[in-house]
Amino acid sequence: MAVDATQAYDDNNIFAKILRGEIPNKTVYEDEYALAFHDINPQAPHHVLVIPKGKYVSWDDFSATASDAEIAGFTRAVGHVAREAGWVVPGYRLLVNIGQDGHQEVPHLHVHIFAGKPLGPMLVRG
Ligand code: AMP
């Protein structure tokens, strides 16, 4: 079910459980601000999710209410993961789904990183 990007944070969402260690994940990177792990249903040869450690429902919530340190730390973590994986050349794609029209399914902010093949046009028209 799609997320309302303005809803209250749900402590029982699946990424909250991953952050608490209640559900396993394939971690690729972790620091004070972010956890990066493999998407369970990859949509490209490489598909990693990066989530902030803090309780933020959506990009809207995060960009409005996170501290400057959290925003900087999270942004740097996303770049670090892609750089360390060797994806800067030939390139990669970041995607953040927000709310119902954005098709956000998990109510904890996550940045998708896709890589490993030419990714084609940004959106399918229609
Ligand atoms: P979104 O539609 O942007 O909310 O994307 C949610 C993503 O979370 C999807 O790509 C799912 O495959 C992924 N996902 C859901 N549950 C898990 C999980 N337990 N571990 C890793 N990825 C997951």
CATH no. for residue 106?
3.30.428.10
Interatomic CA distance for residues 16 and 10, integer angstroms: 8
Pocket residue to mutate for ligand 1, from 4, 41, 48, 114, most atoms within 8 A of Cβ: 41
Residue 75 lies in a domain: yes
Domain that holds residue 66: 14-115
Q: Looking at the 3D structure of the chain, how many domains does it have?
A: 1
By annotation, the residues acting in catalysis are: 110
Residue 7 lies in a domain: no
Per-residue confidence (pLDDT) for residue 2, from 0 to 100: 83
56-70 burial by CB neighbour count: b if 16+ within 10 A, else e?
Answer: bbbbebbeeebeeeb
Residue 65 lies in a domain: yes
Residue 5: which region, alpha, beta or left (left: phi > 0; alpha: psi -120 to 50)?
alpha
Residue 126 lies in a domain: no
Residue 8 lies in a domain: no
Nearest CA residue ID for atom 13, ligand 1: 39
Per-residue confidence (pLDDT) for residue 74, from 0 to 100: 98
- Each residue's pLDDT tens digit in the chain (126 positions)? 789 988 999 999 999 999 999 999 999 999 999 999 999 999 999 999 999 999 999 999 999 999 999 999 999 999 999 999 999 999 999 999 999 999 999 999 999 999 999 999 988 877
pTM: 0.97
Residue 45 lies in a domain: yes
